[in-house]
Amino acid sequence: MTLAVDVAGVHKVFNSGRPNQVDALSDVSLQVTAGEFVSLIGPSGCGKSTLLRLIADLLEPTAGTIAVNGKSPRQARLDQDYGMAFQQAGLFEWRSVAKNIELPLELKGWDKDKRRARAKEMLELVKLPDRADAMPWQLSGGQQQRIAIARALAAHPSLLLMDEPFGALDEMTREHMQAELLRICAATQTTVVFVTHSIPEAVYLSDRVVVMSAGPGRITSIVSVGLGGGRDEDTREAKQFYEKITEVREGLRGGHAIAGQQIKGVDDR
């Protein structure tokens, strides 16, 4: 199996040498194989978003190496090997839905017809085929997030990096979007690295859940979930689902040195 992401012995220090120095990540190693869905979960300040940004080459590691599709993160970024989605859909309000999806293709220098065709294809993938000419503010939060995913996947990247993409959605929409994301990833064979605060979300979506802890940010355990391909609404009530949730929760507790300390910022829903 080829490695989509290979993080080896990475350290990240912010404000090095100054009084407000922060050890965001300490000796982090993680390998993600192609086609895998991996979630990063942990309390606020555990460096999960930092790790995602290091993979995306939006930040540079202080020490250690990172490879994306066997290339340097910079080269992977220049080649648009990955797409990104954030908690806020972040659609450009002055562009129509189709034009938003076309944004990464414009930057790649695609011609207009090709862009149009791809936008149409992506709208069908996220099941909003008739909203091409709508403006973003005319869509619901869930629809906006679908467009953000369509935009992230428009250039057919092999890797999708997501930073709490469903964090701002209500619970019902969120579960629906999770199922949609699984369907889309299965259809496009995309590798996903997914940052979340929610244990059930991580367990439901992932092949593996990477549990992190803070001060300094590090990986404390990796839980293999293996709920299989046929996940549906019943999966959320299955015994194995609850067992894995418990396992992740214990991983989060174990990561904390002081017993009884509350785990901030992790959602038990």
Residues lying near another protein in the complex (CB under 8 A): 53, 56, 58, 77-78, 80, 82-84, 86-88, 90, 92-96, 103-104, 106-108, 135, 137, 161
Query: Is the CB of 157 or the CB of 216 nearer to another protein?
Result: 157
Q: Output the smallest distance, CB 72 to another protein, in A.
A: 13
Give the helix/strand (H/E) hosting 84. Answer: strand 82-85
Given a contact cutoff of 8 angstroms between Cβ atoms, the answer to whether 130 and 162 are in contact is: no
Q: Any residues with CB less than 8 A from the CB of 252 and at least 6 apart, and which?
A: 41, 42, 43, 199, 211, 213, 220, 263, 266
Token couple for 250: 């214990």
Least distance (Å) from another protein to the CB of residue 155? 8
Q: Which is nearer to another protein, 78 or 238 (CB)?
A: 78
| Cβ-based nearer residue to another protein, 89 or 126 | 89
Q: DSSP letter string over 150-175?
A: HHHHTT--SEEEEESTTTTS-HHHHH
Shortest Cβ distance from residue 56 to another protein (Å)?
A: 6
Residue 229 C-beta: closest distance to another protein, Å: 29
Which of 216, 161, 149 is CA-nearest to residue 187? Answer: 149
In order of 75, 146, 195, the CA distances from 164 in angstroms are: 25, 13, 5
Q: Is the CB of 194 or the CB of 204 nearer to another protein?
A: 194
Closer residue to another protein, CB minimum distance, 104 or 255 = 104
CB nearer to another protein: pick between 116 and 253? 116
Phi first, then psi: give them for residue 13, nearest 5 degrees. -120, 125
Q: CA-CA distance, 222 to 90, in Å (whole number)?
A: 31
Q: How far is the CB of 246 from another protein (least distance, A)?
A: 33
CB of 152 to another protein, least distance (A): 9
Rounded to a whole number of angstroms, the minimum distance from the CB of residue 147 to another protein is 13
Residue 126 or 252: which CB sits closer to another protein?
A: 126
Task: List the alpha helices (DSSP H) in the chain.
Answer: 48-55, 73-78, 97-107, 112-125, 141-153, 171-188, 199-205, 239-254
Residue 227: both structure tokens together: 């709920």
